[in-house]
Structure 1
Amino acid sequence: MAELLWGDVDATTLPKVSLHDHLDGGLRPATIAELAPAAGVDLETSDPAALGAWFRDRADSGSLVEYLTTFDVTTAVMQTAPNLERIAREFVLDLADDGVLHGEVRWAPEQHLARGLSLDDAVDAVQRGLDQGVEQVRRGGRSIRVGQLVTAMHADRGLEIAELAVRHRDQGVVGFDIAGAEAGFPPSRHRVAFEYLAEHQFPTTVHAGEAAGLDSIRSALLDGRALRLGHGVRIAEDLVVERADDDRSYVTVGRLARWVRDRQIPLELAPSSNLQTGAIAAWGDELEDHPFDLLYQLGFRVTVNTDNRLMSGTTLSRELALLTEAFDYDLDDLLTFQLNAAESAFLPLEDREALVDRITSGFEAID
């Protein structure tokens, strides 16, 4: 379905960069329904449309912990090499159909070992699927580049997963991440892994500022040496907005927020997901309440992401359309978001510059 922005401008035609998109949160409902019987998974329904609605309803909990329970179903059908290959291939095709030129797909190999795969087997299987998807897109006359962000879920395996990521750095893995239940599990628990990554000059993005606040972000920057913040939306807790007698608003930017803004540390914001998980509950429960625009207007390096396309029933084009409706953005604003993402990608400098040129040219062609 087309996501219209202004008049007949279709958001899917805009060139895009996707930085925060989970493999186990981006499965096609039809694929889950097809793979579930052999995987021994009992579904509420095998009808793809109804199954997609079930995921969205379960994810609309207002709690990250409850939101994460939906992944029990998706990871259950991702335990064999053929299934991982297929899901990764379809992931790439869906990104390309949404106008994505560069995508970084994050996933946790440690969650896909129940049927005998090793960590390396799992990474190799996903990479084969990504490569197949990229090649299929190329044969169709388009191009896309996709890299893996290998994610650690549990601190006791953090170093092992960090070593796994570095081991595959020349075979498609472009970065490292930690994810899971953020509250009570600060990045400092993975400090040894992050030290190893820093020693090997390997980039990290850290889930922080979603289910936990400023302390989580501070730990991501200090202990995780994060180059990007996964979500990071709660950095807005370090902003104080006051309305003066002249009816103008004035913002006081706290020390941590200044650090993030002044050093242009990218925020991987995911508007629909942030609503579902309650990450923006302090500001409201509608998209118009999201501090996205406040952060943008203050000069933070905001990027737009889907987080989990299945659970949010969304695409990157849809997220851009929703933001445009909520905050009256124009094409220049949307270009800024994509350039922010391109400049923040875990790519060599020359590749980021080439990506920036492609995005700029694509927007100019529409404008």
Structure 2
Amino acid sequence: MFCDYLDLKSRGSTTTPPILLSPDVLLSSLSEEEKKRAVSKKITEEEAEVFDFAEFCRPFVSVEPSVELKWYNKVDPSAAQRFNSEEESVKLAQRLLQLFAKTEMLESAVFKYDDIRVIRVYFMDDREMPSEKMISILDNIFTVSMTKLGQFSDKISVVVDYELRAFMSDPPKAKRMVLESMLKFPEYIPDSWGGESAIMKWKESKEADVRRREADEKEREKEKEKEKEKELETERNAKEQEENKKKEERKAKEAEENRKKEDRIKKEVEEAERKKKEEKEKRKKEVAAKKKKEKEEEGKKKELKKKTKRAKKASNPDATKTKESKETAEPPLASPNPAQIAAPPPVKKIAKNALKPSREPSIEREPSLAVNRPSAAAPKALQTPGRKTKKGT
């Protein structure tokens, strides 16, 4: 607000309105080269526009000064000089405030109690906003003090060098820098203006800043520790997840291997059982085939024997009879009975079909020998061997 007040006070207007000129006046004010350039310029059909004017109307031409923004896509070469000049101006403002405090010019420039009270309230209370009255009072005080210091320095026994005089030659800038320095460094504020309270507030604010910085540092440290703990926890969780994942993969792999192993063993057992069954069935078939073959061979042998016997019987039936009679003849008795010897044996009739050859060989007994068969009471040694039956008796 103080800066705006000084700007409005130093200059009346910040804008330049356009200048209205007629074509004749414009051509007369131009140079010869500009006249040639304006005359030689031709308007094409695209640029030309048709307007309907009244009879006594003439167009006017407005000329505006060309403006170029230095900071638009360009580097300001005077930026470093400007920054240096600002730093130097701050130092010069501090030197000027030191001279004001040494000579007590700021206190002596205020004569009214109301003005002192307004300034004191502004510097003591942080919540107080600057008013127009306070700004005008400060402007008047700074003007009077700088005038006295520049004109009556020889009488005040204060040395004002050329730099300070050049700094005070631009009053608006000097006043702004002085007020900013007073607000930044409250030790330059006079005691009657609330300098002591301003210093106390400044110290308290500094202490509060220190406490706030310490608290901020502690909070940052705590946040860093929390972040580290979070990072460690995330790393730990990631490791645990990786370990769990590896364990699950290992378990799944082992389960898969066990399943494959069980399947392989099961297949091997099934294959062995199948082979065993096949071998068993093969053996059974071989045994059955062998038995069948043996039976067939035995049947063939029996048939051959029968055929040979039949052939022999057919070729020589008498020889067979004598042979059979010899085979069936009974041995002599050990102790013959005289009654049996004296009595002749009865003649037994032989059937007609007895002499005919039968299919199966039959044993015929002579009639004389049939009488001499021992009784049932005779011993086994005296019994004659008879024809064998199926049971072998």
Q: TM-score range with shorter-chain normalisation?
A: under 0.3
TM-score, structure 2 normalization: 0.18
| Greater per-residue strand proportion | 1
Q: Which has the larger radius of gyration?
A: 2
TM-score by length of 1: 0.19
